[in-house]
Each structure stands twice: as structure tokens, then as C-alpha cells.
């Protein structure tokens, strides 16, 4: 299942990036968002964790086991997605300039993101603890809502008249993720936490993006 999820996300994002990455519309900016990747890891982890009937309390052994299984599924899914994305889905081959360096670097990033969000998806699926499930959903929602801040920071709203609507949809989508908790007392608080946490998350993501670009440039400059 993780391989299937990874393949689908790699093909879809690869096609999107190949079609729009260098356009001057909002589509060009959306092609570089990170939210679809973490959503894919979250889904892979949740699916791997099993049906709702397997939920367990606190940090019991089955609970921890599900977290590890979800982390593994999320990692496999994102690694597969990365390889597919930088291969046939985006370029038709692996021989474009810098393909090897980019694939290796983003595969390492995928491992980290896959572990975190794959485990989050699994814990959301199996845990009967509202606190655990809320933490997983707030984390995912924060990343998605933070992408709205990224779109504003890179000037996406100036691309076309439709761009602002896209930014609003992304922000609202992130805030709606905690609603997956259902009708719980903690749900409104979680919804409110998402935009608050999205601000520092956007800043952190911007810093990481700058660091990532610098690392890729250094790696590409190294003699083979």
C-alpha cells in the first residue's frame, strides 16, 4: 500500500511540476508545495495502522508498534514518491542535470518527513487518546496552513486574480484538519491552534528551504 501511495503521489506531482513549474501562474508555485508530500506520508501511515477497531490507550505496546509501522510506511511511500517524481514522472528519465544529487538529497529529507508524518497518521488512526490524535492532526494541519504563508511570502498572490482564493483555500484546509477528531471538547482549541502555529512553521520552513537549496548547490559543485 505504501508503495502504491508513493507511486501515485510521485506520478501526480511529477506531472504537475513538469506541466507548470516554470509557468508564471499560481500553478507554478503550487507545483513546489510540500503539503502533498506530508499528506501522502500521513495517509500511508494511517492505512498501514489498520482499522479503527485496533485502537489502543496511551502508549501501550500495540500503540507503539502501530507508530513504528506507520513511520515505516510513510518513509517507504515518500522515498518511492521521490524516486518516481525525479524520474519518469517529471522528466521521462534520470539523466537531466543534477538528477542524482536532487534525488539523493530529497530522499534523505523524505525519510525524515516520512517517519514523522507516517507515525502521526498511524497514531491518529489507532489511538483512543484525544490528546495523541489531536497532536497528530494539529501537526498535519499546521503544515498545510503554513503553506498559505509560504504562498504569500513568495508573492504568489500577485500571479493572477485567482491566486488569493487558492491561498485562502489552503489556509482553511489546514484549519479544517483537526475536525477529523470529531465532536470533542478539544476540537475547537485544535482548530484555533493551527493558524497560531502556522506562522512560526512558515518561518522555519523558509529557513529550511534556504538551507536545502544551499546544500544541493554544494553537493552539485563537488567533484564526482
* Interval 170-207: pLDDT, tens: 899 999 999 999 889 999 999 999 999 988 888 887 77
Residue 53: predicted pLDDT: 42
d(CA 173, CA 183): 18
**How many separate domains does the chain show?**
1
What whole-number percentage of the chain has pLDDT above 90? Answer: 31
d(CA 121, CA 140): 9
Residue 133: predicted pLDDT: 93
Single pTM value for the model? 0.81
Has residue 56 got a pLDDT over 60? no
**What confidence category does residue 95 fall into, taking pLDDT thresholds of 50, 70 and 90?**
very low
Residue 14: predicted pLDDT: 76
Short-list 177, 184, 100, CA closest to 141: 177
Q: Range of 57's domain?
A: 2-221
Has residue 15 got a pLDDT over 50? yes
Amino acid at each position: 500500500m505504501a508503495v502504491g501511495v508513493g507511486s501515485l503521489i510521485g506520478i501526480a506531482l511529477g506531472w504537475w511540476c513538469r506541466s507548470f513549474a516554470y509557468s508564471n501562474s499560481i500553478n507554478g508555485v503550487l507545483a513546489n508545495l510540500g503539503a502533498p508530500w506530508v499528506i501522502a506520508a500521513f495517509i500511508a501511515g494511517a492505512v498501514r495502522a489498520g482499522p479503527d477497531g485496533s485502537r489502543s490507550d496511551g502508549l501501550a505496546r500495540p500503540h507503539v508498534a502501530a507508530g513504528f509501522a506507520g513511520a515505516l510506511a510513510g518513509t517507504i511511500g515518500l522515498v518511492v514518491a521521490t524516486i518516481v517524481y525525479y524520474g519518469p514522472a517529471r522528466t521521462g528519465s534520470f539523466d537531466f542535470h543534477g538528477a542524482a544529487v536532487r534525488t539523493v538529497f530529497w530522499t534523505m529529507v523524505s525519510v525524515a518527513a516520512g517517519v514523522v508524518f507516517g507515525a502521526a497518521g498511524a497514531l491518529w488512526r489507532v489511538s483512543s487518546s484525544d490528546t495523541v490524535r489531536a497532536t497528530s492532526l494539529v501537526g498535519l494541519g499546521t503544515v498545510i496552513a503554513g503553506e498559505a504563508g509560504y504562498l504569500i511570502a513568495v508573492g504568489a498572490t500577485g500571479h493572477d486574480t485567482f491566486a488569493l482564493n487558492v491561498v485562502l483555500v489552503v489556509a482553511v484546509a489546514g484549519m479544517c484538519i483537526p475536525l477529523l477528531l470529531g465532536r470533542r471538547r478539544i476540537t475547537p482549541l485544535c482548530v484555533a491552534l493551527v493558524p497560531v502555529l502556522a506562522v512560526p512553521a512558515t518561518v522555519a520552513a523558509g529557513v529550511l528551504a534556504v538551507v536545502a537549496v544551499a546544500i544541493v548547490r554544494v553537493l552539485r559543485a563537488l567533484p564526482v
